[in-house]
Amino acid sequence: MPYTLTPHPILQAPMAGGATTPELVAAVSNAGGLGSLAGVMLSPEKLREEIRKIRTLTDRPFSVNLFVLKPVAVAQAELEAAMERLQPIRAELGLPPGKAPVKFSEDFEAQLEVLLEEKPPVVSFHFDLLPARQVERLHQAGCKVIGTATHVAEAMAWQEAGADYLCAQGAEAGGHRGTFIGPFEHAMTGILALLPQVVEAVKIPVIAAGGIMDGRGIAAALLLGASAVQMGTAFLTCPEAGIHPLFKQALLQTKGDPTVVTRTFSGRPARALRNAFIERMQPYEAQVPPYPIQNALTAEIRQAAAKAGRLEFMSLWAGQAACLCRSLPAALLVETLVQETHEALYRLEGALHA
Ligand SMILES: Cc1cc2nc3c(=O)[nH]c(=O)nc-3n(C[C@H](O)[C@H](O)[C@H](O)COP(=O)(O)O)c2cc1C
């Protein structure tokens, strides 16, 4: 199935935590890709403001992403135990003993209403399935809908719910696992194996995500039946990306694959560069309360660590091919990716006729 959202079949992944600034989103869209704003951590007011800012920077299509979140409850004893476990790290950062957060996350329903009012051309969802009636409301507002899946049953569920595009997230991907049917350990299929399965199972166009860093990866994904690719880590080292300079530096110095999938930061499995926080919290991996509770409990630690330049306590979400990061302005990165894809496909043609 064709991909018709933008001239180039390249989506810059939504990346929560400040990476996807309006400047990054607009630069990618202006270069002919699809820039995506991560909305999950933004209050409804801030979400509206950033969407409007993007509109001042580009008249091209762009996308806004949310996590589909359902209310969760936690027992007081579990909450206290979780706060207690974080205490030594808080102390090391000079933070006072933690207090229970006033709220664990932004209000998903209120964020969704902002999307329905602001009507970004494309909206995408992570973490869970949006009910068909909500997909229909977004369609009526004129938005195209992308759903994230990590295996075939999830892909079919999104198709059934009415999604226009499916983002297949391979195990290599940086950030949170999108798994919502079954345990995440059963959905750790690499993109090379996952993509053809999903492409065969659904009729809607499939966007490949996970470990794609250059034109070789894009060409491979297109040959496996993807209609487009979604790249996250590759855009983290663009000057427009809003991550900590030390995180950028760490990505550019990465060798091999120093990533690990961990629940310790947020309560939901996510791939990150291994650091001291993960190693010290590893023994409690199974006890950590679910997202968004643990995420809220570690928020002050992550902020204080960023302020103090303590990389060892920041959440450094990144994919398995982070060592291929380059420091290029977003527009030049998109242009380079397109050029490299042409070259990769040309080389393939040559190999066939050698
Ligand atoms: C720093 C970071 C933050 C992310 N945050 C989000 C997010 O807010 N929403 C989302 O749908 N995906 C998020 N992802 C996952 C991406 O959509 C995508 O699956 C992933 O970046 C693809 O793998 P790659 O990083 O190897 O390119 C994030 C990824 C990274 C690296």
Domain residue ranges in the chain: 1-69+105-243+324-354, 74-104+255-317
Question: For residue 38, which atom of ligand 1 is closest to its CA?
Answer: 8
Which tens digit of pLDDT belongs to each residue from 10-46? 999 999 999 999 999 999 999 999 999 999 999 999 9
The mean pLDDT value of the chain amounts to 97
- Mutational pocket test of ligand 1: of 10, 11, 15, the residue with most ligand atoms within 8 Å of the beta carbon: 15
User: What pLDDT is recorded for position 349?
Assistant: 84
Selected from 3.20.20.70, 2.130.10.10, 3.30.499.10, 1.10.3720.10, the CATH number assigned to the domain covering 1-69+105-243+324-354 reads 3.20.20.70
Which tens digit of pLDDT belongs to each residue from 181-215? 999 999 999 999 999 999 999 999 999 999 999 99
In sequence order, what are the residues at sequence separation of 6 or more whose Cβ sits closer than 8 angstroms to the Cβ of residue 124?
Answer: 14, 36, 63, 64, 65, 66, 145, 146, 147, 148, 167
For residue 350, what pLDDT band results from cuts at 50, 70 and 90? confident
**Does ligand 1 lie within 6 Å of residue 266's CB atom?**
no
Nearest of 196, 201, 194 to residue 170 by alpha carbon: 194
For residue 2, what pLDDT band results from cuts at 50, 70 and 90? confident
d(CA 114, CA 131): 17
**Does ligand 1 lie within 6 Å of residue 210's CB atom?**
yes
- Averaged pLDDT for residues 88-108: 95
- Pairing state between β 122-126 and 62-67: parallel
> In the structure encoding, which two tokens stand for residue 234, read together?
């590759």
Question: For residue 41, which atom of ligand 1 is closest to its CA?
Answer: 8
For residue 71, what pLDDT band results from cuts at 50, 70 and 90? confident
User: What pLDDT is recorded for position 353?
Assistant: 79
